[in-house]
């Protein structure tokens, strides 16, 4: 079995192979992103175990974890660390089921997206993940309930750190819509009467089971507004200065063949 044989709905993929701005490529077998590991079939799980993952970062809330716990990977240290809290520090359930309850047709929808995507780049969960990256303790696997939002932004940040351009990183984020197309179509069909002819609402609601590029763009915009550039962000947020960033890029990428 190989990674491409895992069912698309699991949204299991890796960052290896992406080309950086200087023409190198991210090494394969270092960074894996996914939906919940509890979705894996026995055969899929055996394949994931063969990857010798060293750290699993589970970005879900306790409630989400209790609904579908991760199976144990024998080589991995497990980090259940919720990637989202509200302004008061309370955990936020960011599963598709929870998002579905948001009224995207009113102002609350915009506020919801601002709270979620505006805060994601600054979550403590990513700090823990980047500690493993800094120590070169890979392969790592990071996931949430659908492998699309919390997971997607984490992937974007790793790619930017290693020298992949912003647009390519956002393309990877949007690739979720190809992997989760069946879930997206089922949901949109279920709410077709609510959507009617409102294409803006249809687009917004696609983000329940899929992703919308502008949400990830919001996260990146908040980084630039707060820190000015990504280099300053990585240093302030994760203790990765320019020298370390260059060292990590050298380690995690290789010449294109």
Q: How many CA atoms lie within 13 A of 96 on its CB side?
A: 19
Are 239 and 209 in contact, with CB atoms under 8 Å apart?
no
Residue 140: its pLDDT value, please? 98
Residue 106: its pLDDT value, please? 46
- Paired tokens of 167: 């647009």
Which burial class, exposed, middle or buried, applies to 193 when counting CB atoms under 10 A from its CB (0-12, 13-18, 19+)? Answer: exposed
**Domain 3-239 = CATH 3.40.630.40:** no
CA dihedral 179, 52, 120, 89 (to 10 degrees): 130
Residue 88: its pLDDT value, please? 55
Other beta carbons within 10 Å of 27: 17
Burial code (b: 16+ CB inside 10 Å, e: under 16) for 69-101 equals ebeebeebeebbbbbbbeeeeeebbbbbebbee
Residue 5: its pLDDT value, please? 96
Are 180 and 205 in contact, with CB atoms under 8 Å apart?
no
- Paired tokens of 123: 């979550």
Residue 206: its pLDDT value, please? 86
Cis peptide before 139 (omega within 30 of 0): yes
Angle between helices 213-227 and 150-161 (to 10 degrees): 50
Residue 169: its pLDDT value, please? 98
Stretches in the chain below the pLDDT threshold 70: 85-112
In the chain, what are the domain boundaries? 3-239
């Amino acid at each position: 079995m190989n990674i491409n044989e895992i069912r698309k709905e699991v949204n299991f993929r890796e960052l290896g192979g992406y080309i950086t701005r200087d023409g190198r490529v991210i090494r394969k077998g270092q960074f894996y992103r996914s939906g919940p590991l509890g979705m894996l079939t026995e055969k899929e799980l055996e394949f994931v175990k063969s990857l010798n993952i060293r750290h699993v970062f589970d970005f879900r809330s306790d409630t989400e974890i209790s609904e579908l716990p991760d199976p144990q990977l024998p080589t991995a240290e497990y980090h259940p660390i919720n990637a989202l809290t509200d302004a008061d520090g309370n955990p936020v359930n960011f599963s598709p089921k929870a998002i579905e309850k948001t009224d995207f047709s009113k102002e609350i929808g915009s506020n919801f997206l601002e709270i979620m995507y505006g805060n994601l780049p600054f979550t403590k969960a990513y700090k823990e993940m980047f500690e493993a990256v800094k120590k070169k303790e890979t392969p790592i696997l990071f996931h949430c309930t659908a492998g699309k939002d919390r997971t997607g932004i984490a992937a974007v940040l790793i790619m930017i750190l290693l020298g992949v351009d912003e647009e390519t990183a956002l393309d990877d984020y949007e690739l979720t819509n190809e992997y989760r197309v069946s879930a997206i179509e089922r949901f949109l069909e279920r709410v077709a009467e609510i959507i009617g002819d409102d294409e803006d609402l249809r687009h917004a609601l696609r983000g329940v089971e899929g992703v919308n590029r502008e949400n990830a763009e919001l996260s990146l915009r908040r980084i630039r507004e707060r820190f000015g550039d990504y280099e300053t962000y990585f240093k302030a947020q994760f203790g990765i200065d320019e020298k370390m960033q260059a060292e990590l890029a050298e380690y995690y990428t290789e010449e294109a063949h």
